[in-house]
Amino acid sequence: MKMMNAFLKDLGILASNPGVSTGQNWIKSKGESITSYSPVDGLEIAKVNGADKSAYDAVVTKAQQAFEEWRTWPAPKRGEIVRQVGEELRRQKDALGKLVSYEMGKSLQEGLGEVQEMIDICDFAVGLSRQLHGLTMHSERPGHRMYEQYHPLGIVGVISAFNFPVAVWSWNSMLAWVCGDVCIWKPSEKTPLCAVACQKIIQKVFKKNNVPEGVSGLVIGGRDTGEWMSNDVRIPLISATGSTRMGKAVGAAVGQRLGRSLLELGGNNAIIISQDADLAIAMVAATFGAVGTAGQRCTTTRRLIIHE
């Protein structure tokens, strides 16, 4: 218990936590109180106060305002912010990895590995911040050339699942940030504390660099919160990870308003073991594929196709 309290304290997790943030600031809301329980031992970890509609709208409004400034920052400067986020994650890797393991239920090494994935995507995004190239081409008009360049979309809504409570958010947000977009994150209500911890980690970097308030929004809540985002014309892109049923609902809602969606949903995965396969390697791979991440993965092994 003392060890658990230590890493929660390191991450700034309290017995009761706000669940709505515009970046550096937390917003009081009258949403549902969400209690996080650990599947490891069934004990209550902490509570989070979820978003209500008013608080949600405040986050979106602040994100719209932040986008107008954030998009004007040079891409390498935005990449520098992401680099510093990666460094802060390195410093907090042990504590955050333990929280991921304890709140989600995966093994400790998988929890630490998930935080390492966050660090890796930060490093990757930093490089991309200097590769947002356009094209120039000849025009049919004498003495003229044409060029194209990328423009950020605006607000990117990220809806993540409980099985990878921090990595999926980082894959989306770090890339969006270097491109000049701002993000609003709705994490799974089953793993809200991981999201609170991530928000507190990036707050340190944002404050030090005077990042516009609203670049990283957080709205913790249930299905209603996801529906607000999916139907919100102020959010041009929704990236959602979860069940196929959830993806159908999100895709339909976003499509109805001619928005864009990125959907990473459930799978039905098989491992093919051929006649000349190394059985020792195949058995280890098949076993981990089935039980890794406590069996909760979109790529979890469900079938073995074996040569007779």
Residues 275, 180 within the same domain: no
Q: Are residue 85 and residue 205 in the same domain, yes or no? A: yes
Least Cα distance to 197 among 83, 36, 66 occurs for 36
Same domain for 248 and 119, yes or no, is yes
Claim to verify: residue 171 and residue 251 sit in the same structural domain: yes
Mean pLDDT, the chain, rounded, equals 95
Listed as ranges, residues in the chain with pLDDT below 50 are: 2
Closest CA to 226 of 197, 188, 194: 188
Q: Provide the 8-state DSSP code for 164.
A: S
Whether the model clears a pTM of 0.85, i.e. scores above it, the answer is yes
The pLDDT, as a whole number, for residue 297 is: 77
Per DSSP, the three-state class of 166 is coil
Tokens matching residue 104: 């989600």
Provide φ and ψ at 163, rounded to 5°. Answer: -75, -30
Q: Domain range holding 177?
A: 2-35+44-131+152-266
> Do 121 and 166 share a domain, yes or no?
yes
Residue pair 301/295 in contact (Cβ under 8 Å)? The answer is no
How confident is the model at residue 174, as a pLDDT?
A: 98
Three-state secondary-structure class, residue 243: coil
Q: Are residues 296 and 250 in the same domain?
A: no
Residue 120 makes CB contacts below 8 A (sequence gap 6+) with none
Q: Same domain for 123 and 204?
A: yes
Cβ distance 170 to 76 under 8 Å?
Answer: no
Confirm if 170 and 118 have CB atoms less than 8 A apart.
Answer: yes
- What pLDDT score does 136 carry? 92
- Residues with a known catalytic role: 264, 298
Q: Is residue 203 part of a domain?
A: yes
